[in-house]
Amino acid sequence: MSKRLVVALSGGVGGAKLALGLSLVLPADELLVVANTGDDFEHLGLSISPDIDTLTYALAGIDNPATGWGRRNETWSFMDSIGALGGEDWFRLGDRDLALHVERTRRLRLGQTLSEVTADICGRLGIGARVVPMSDDRVRTRVRGDAGWIDFQDYFVRQHCRPVVHELAFDGVTLARPHADITAALRSGDVRAVIVCPSNPFVSVEPILAIPGMRDAIKASGAPVVAVSPIIGGQAVKGPTAKMMRELGLEASAAGVAARYGDLLDGYIVDHADADGIGNVGARVTIARTLMTSLHDRETLAGVTLDAADALASQR
Ligand code: GDP
């Protein structure tokens, strides 16, 4: 019998677009999305998990298409009010979004795990696919700029990615364990494909891969690993991926991302705009339209990615 399960590694904005596409072309019980939690932080007394939330809102169809993060039809009374009081308003939390952070924080304080809270909230919002944090253990991405080490959200949101990035670290990662549902899935013998979504390699995918045992478990699953390039025409669609690559001394290109993933990849989906310069990246390259503007784009790219994985599997 053919293998059924698709495991997708995802950050927020780019990753959630493909995760939604996969959720539209696969039965709900065949998709497990592994969410990066390196971006998580504590702010205003709340536990905030930006990538889990972006995935949750996208999969529930209540995401904000204009920003790529947060909820649609949002109102901002809380932000306006806290700003007027001299409070911290650099990290934008809409009123509806705030409810999720307050509720997550309450449940974590009662002793529930992040994965339990995530599963329950996804269920309440009608999401069929499983969204699993990469780990229930605490991992925090840190960025070394000219002024020393800072927290990721300080770099990303407060300082608008302006600092030059010299180095990244994932605090806590050496002690973190991959979530048991992820390792169980990868060991099941039923994995059709591992999809690396078009997310920032450094701060969305690498925190997942840096968890001890994760990379080996992916390899040992025997499933084809197929990534979608987050770089189109030598540029990031959104966010600091290309800027970070240049600052870290890497080539800001689709080929540069593939080189970063190295022997993890069996297949690589690259945009038409990057077809000429792609060369040999050590993985089977598929050229496709990778910009996901519409829902149809998301579905189509999900189909292309699964076809690429199935073609690789059929040759094993
Ligand atoms: P973050 O965690 O919110 O930063 O989001 P991700 O890491 O998941 O996504 C950021 C990356 O997604 C950037 O490198 C973007 O270039 C990429 N991205 C965003 N939209 C698209 C798209 O439509 N197609 C592709 N191929 N990449 C995209």
How many Å lie between the centroid of ligand 1 and the Cα of residue 230? 5
Query: Looking at the predicted structure, is the pLDDT value of residue 153 above 70?
Result: yes
- Of the candidates 113, 91, 102, 107, the one whose C-alpha atom is nearest the C-alpha of residue 39 is 91
Count of Cβ atoms closer than 10 Å to residue 147 Cβ? 8
For 284-306, the pLDDT digits (tens) are: 999 999 999 999 999 999 999 99
Q: CA-CA distances (angstroms) from residue 133 to 35, 249, 253?
A: 5, 30, 28
Residue 141's SS3 state is strand
- The stretch 47-51 carries a mean pLDDT of 98
Pick the residue whose CA is nearest to atom 18 on ligand 1. Answer: 14
Give the confidence band of 1 by pLDDT, cuts at 50, 70, 90.
Answer: low
**For the chain, what is the mean pLDDT?**
97
Query: Looking at the predicted structure, is the pLDDT value of residue 66 above 90?
Result: no
Residues in a beta bridge with 34: 9, 132
| Percent of the chain predicted with pLDDT > 90 | 98
CB 155 within 8 A of CB 143: yes
pLDDT at site 159? 97
pLDDT at site 148? 98
- The stretch 142-151 carries a mean pLDDT of 97
What are the structure tokens assigned to 188, written together?
């099941």
pLDDT at site 277? 86
- State which H helix or E strand residue 244 sits in: helix 241-247
Distance (Å, whole) CA 255 – CA 281: 6
- Of the candidates 237, 147, 235, 248, the one whose C-alpha atom is nearest the C-alpha of residue 206 is 248
What are the structure tokens assigned to 32, written together?
């497990």
Residues with CB under 6 A from ligand 1: 11-15, 17, 51, 54, 198-200, 204, 228-230, 232, 236-239, 241, 290-292
For 202-246, the pLDDT digits (tens) are: 999 999 999 999 999 999 999 999 999 999 999 999 999 999 999
Within 8 A by CB and 6+ apart from 81, the residues are none
Ligand 1 pocket test, candidate residues 40, 53, 237, 289, most atoms within 8 A of CB: 237
Pick the residue whose CA is nearest to atom 6 on ligand 1. Answer: 199
pLDDT at site 68? 86
Query: Starting from the edge strand earliest in sequence, which strands make up the sheet with 130-133, in order?
Result: 130-133, 31-35, 5-10, 191-196, 225-228, 267-271, 284-288
- Of the candidates 136, 140, 202, the one whose C-alpha atom is nearest the C-alpha of residue 165 is 202
